[in-house]
Structure 1
Amino acid sequence: MKLASKILNITLAVVVLCTLVAAVGSAITKKPILLSVIRSNSMYPVWERGDMVMIDNLTKQETIFYGDIIFFKAENGSLATKGWIAHRVIGGNAKDGYLTKGDANKFSDQETDETGQIKRSWIAGKAVMMGDQPIVFKKIGYLSLWLEKYQSNPLVLPAFALILGIIIAIGELKPGQKRKKRSKGKGMELPLIYLIGGLSISIIVGGTMIASSYTLNQIYEVSQQSQGVLVGSDVGMLKIGDSVSRDLSEIKNEGIFPLIGVITTNDKQIQLSHQKFTLSKGQQINTSYIVTAQVPGRYKATIKVGLFFPLLPAAIIYFLAEKSYWLALAIVSLIPGLPLILYPFIDGKMRRKTLSVIRKKTRKLQRIF
């Protein structure tokens, strides 16, 4: 019974984690992120309603291949009323649009709807595959489906998660016999709940920031004497000494929280119009960059536009992002979940119990290996 109880607690913790990522992440970003709950059986037997699927969120430059299962939201036709759809690509291309079809459907989406081919800009991501099969978590998305009625207000679910964490913390801070009885024999279960809760908050925050950030890869060439056009390049071939200005993006804060924007590049010949900036609610800026041809050669420049919650000073976030965008993302994301993650090591009794269990598990592993 004790083993069954532990398995049940761990399973519930994983379900809560996945549900928070899917429900809160999509509620804030208005698109599927990291995980998506399946709402129909149009892709049976690949997955069914209530399953949860891992998503690879795509940048605008990433290629889509035939056979990929994409997540898209049509902007016209009857498909536009169905929200996010996950169907397989059976034809088309990025320029003209894609042909799609649910595996369980007799006809393609284009044969049954006036929407036409699916535009590249409508696609948020594609299913993460392991071999020729997507990564699917069976039936654990039903809780997220039940929570969807609260998604009209993107603050409800984060507030719910925060309140839940506060209630747990207050309950653990209360002294007395009741707490002793409750914590007796719990081993790693309670610390695991704190860990899962903290990681859930961090994943939600990180996923939201990833969804609002993107990467531009720009290929160009610098020549001693000639100028010209390169296929797939907005800059083309430049002669030494030439400078070319290009628009980068229009960035707008459509959320309710202020954001810190950071733009970095790995190319010293590129000058950015903005490197770090703060966007208040509703504020918008237009960004651009200038390429100054200095050294002959062919270049593949990367420009990373990142938007971060103001959990650290802008100067620190920019310093971290210059080292690595993912380093900055990890550190900023970790901050709101850190109190819950660290609490099992701050509380004296829980710390001793946690360390004791860790030592026992370590000794068992040492005996095995």
Structure 2
Amino acid sequence: MNVLSKIFNVILAVVVLCSFIAAVGSAITKKPVLLTVIRSNSMYPVWERGDMVIIDNLNPDENISNRDIVFFKAEKGSLATKGWIAHRVISGNPEEGFITKGDANDYSDQESDDTGPIDRKWIAGRAFEIGDTPIVLKKIGYLSLWMEKYQSNPLLLPGFALILGIIIAIGELKPSKKRKRKNKGMELSLIYFTGGLTISIMLGSTMLSSGHTLNQVYEVSEQSQGVLIGSDVGILKVGESISRPLSEIKNEGFFPLIGAITTNDKQIQLSHKKVSLPQGQQINATYTVHAEDPGKYKATIKVGLFYPLLPASFIYFLAQKSYWLALIVVSIIPGLPLMIYPLIDGKMRRKTINILKKKKRKLQGILHL
């Protein structure tokens, strides 16, 4: 039973770690990374809703073959409203596009939709397979689906923290004869640290999903002005200024938020930089480009929403240095007391250090063999 328990714990830790990497990677790249949760039964019996699938992320020049199950997001037609889709390629090529179909569907996506063939650049990855069989973690994704369903509930995070606290308290009060005393320090340390880290990850994921980035390409010329493909600003003449809407920033949650809007372009002036958003409040932010120096520019404007766990001025200061720095610092605050408690509690700290020393000596002995 000891061996089975350890194997289960290792597998659980790997799944949690991979899920975290997938969630953060997906939030940053805006596409599935490493793992994704299945939200429909269109590929039954290969997989079902609630399953988790391993993704082989593709480079733009990698080949795609018939029978591959690909993950794509259409940019036009009715399919564009459905987000990321995982269907099988039944024909096509990179030049003309691909015809796709869910195994459980009667018709291809192109027969039942006005999207047309799937462009190669819309495809982010394909199902990772051993032989011809995709790797599927059955029903593990239901927790993620459940969390998505209730993620807008303002009581979710405090509720989770309360449950976690109760679990830790029960662990502390459990009779010692039912526990392995020699490992108690290490077990409790891991529980505290993992609990604090989980709270921080949940908080960080919520803030990450609420922010967004605008990349704007434009040009400044000494002689002329004009249109630039893919740019809302275009080509500006030196001395000219132009304003554009940036974003509607709204607090739809229960807790107040702090908005920090930053840019890496000195020619761009923001209508709002640091804002406090009570529940239900909305602001319409704009930006103005003042054409001063000739040249081609690629500006980045980052809109971040943060919980007010630090003074607004300090959060904005961090966001100016780096959005990710601000996100990490604010996220770690609620989980930090739990994560550092094992270091503060002397008895727990000594037990943990002794266990680590024993494991180190054991590992050194094995390596010497």
Q: Which has the higher contact order (CA 8 A, sep 6+)?
A: 1
Q: Which of 292, 305, 308 lines up with 1:307 in the alignment? A: 305
> Could you tell me which residue of structure 2 aligns to residue 3 of structure 1?
3
Letter in 2 for 1:166: G
Q: Deviation at 1:355?
A: 1.9
Q: Which amino acid is 2:318 matched to?
A: L
Contact 2:262 2:273 in 1 (8 A): yes
Q: 1:315/1:189 Cα in 2 relative to 1: closer, same or farther (>3 Å)?
A: same
Q: Does 1:184 align with 2:181?
A: yes
Give the distance between the partners of 1:339 and 1:240, measured in 2 at CA. Answer: 53
The aligned runs of 1:19-38 (5 Å cut-off) are: 36-38=36-38
Q: Distance in 2 between matches of 1:352 and 1:71?
A: 52
Q: CA deviation at 1:339?
A: 2.2
Distance 1:342 1:45, change over 3 A: farther
Match of 1:295 in 2: 293
User: Which residue identity is paired with 1:321?
Assistant: A
1:51 Cα deviation (Å)?
A: 2.1
Kindly report which structure 2 residues correspond to 1:101-120, keeping only aligned pairs within 5 A, or say none. Answer: 101-102=101-102, 105-109=105-109, 111-112=111-112, 116-117=114-115
2:67 maps to which residue? none
Task: State the shift of 1:229 in Å.
Answer: 1.4
Tell me: CA distance 1:198–1:305, structure 2 relative to 1, closer, same or farther (3 Å).
same
Give 1:218's aligned residue: 216
Alpha-carbon distance between aligned partners in 1 of 2:31 and 2:162, rounded to the nearest angstrom: 24
> Which residue number in structure 2 is paired with residue 69 of structure 1?
71
Give the TM-score normalised by the residue count of structure 1: 0.73
Q: Is residue 52 of structure 1 aligned with residue 49 of structure 2? A: no
User: How far has the Cα of 1:275 moved from its partner?
Assistant: 0.6
Deviation at 1:107, TM superposition (A): 2.2
Hey, what does 2:95 align to over in structure 1?
none
Match of 1:207 among 205, 217, 220: 205
Identity percentage of aligned residues: 55
* Counterpart AA for 2:304: G
Contact 2:154–2:255 (Cα < 8 Å) also in 1: no
Give the 5 Å matches for 1:1-369.
1-12=1-12, 36-43=36-43, 47-53=47-53, 69-70=71-72, 86-88=85-87, 101-102=101-102, 105-109=105-109, 111-112=111-112, 116-117=114-115, 138-139=137-138, 141=140, 144=143, 151=150, 154-155=153-154, 157-171=156-170, 178-179=175-176, 182=179, 184-186=181-183, 188-363=186-361, 368=367
Cα RMSD (Å) of the superposition? Answer: 4.6
- Name the CA shift for 1:140/1:173 in 2 (closer, same or farther; >3 Å): same
Shift of 1:219: 0.7
Aligned residues of 2:43 and 2:102 also touching (Cα < 8 A): yes
Kindly state the Cα deviation for residue 251 of structure 1 after the two structures are TM-superposed.
Answer: 1.1
Cα distance change of structure 1 residues 87 and 239 upon mapping to structure 2, 3 Å threshold = same
Q: Partners in 2 of 1:224 and 1:293 — Cα distance?
A: 10
Task: Give the AA of the match of 1:178.
Answer: P
The separation in 2 between residues aligned to 1:33 and 1:201, in whole angstroms, is 23
The residue type equivalent to 1:139 in the other structure is: K
- Alpha carbons 1:22, 1:32 under 8 Å: kept: no
SS of residue matched to 1:50: coil
Q: Aligned partners of 1:141, 1:326: CA distance in 2, in Å?
A: 29
CA contact (8 A) 1:250 1:286 kept: yes
Residues 253, 185 of structure 1: alpha-carbon distance in 2 compared, 3 angstrom cutoff: same
2: CA distance between counterparts of 1:160 and 1:304? 31
8 Å Cα contact 2:54-2:128 kept in structure 1: no
Distance 1:285 1:356, change over 3 A: same
**TM-score, normalised to structure 2's length?**
0.73
**Secondary structure in structure 2 of the residue aligned to 1:108:** coil
Q: Which amino acid aligns with 1:38?
A: I
The amino acid that maps onto 1:69 is F
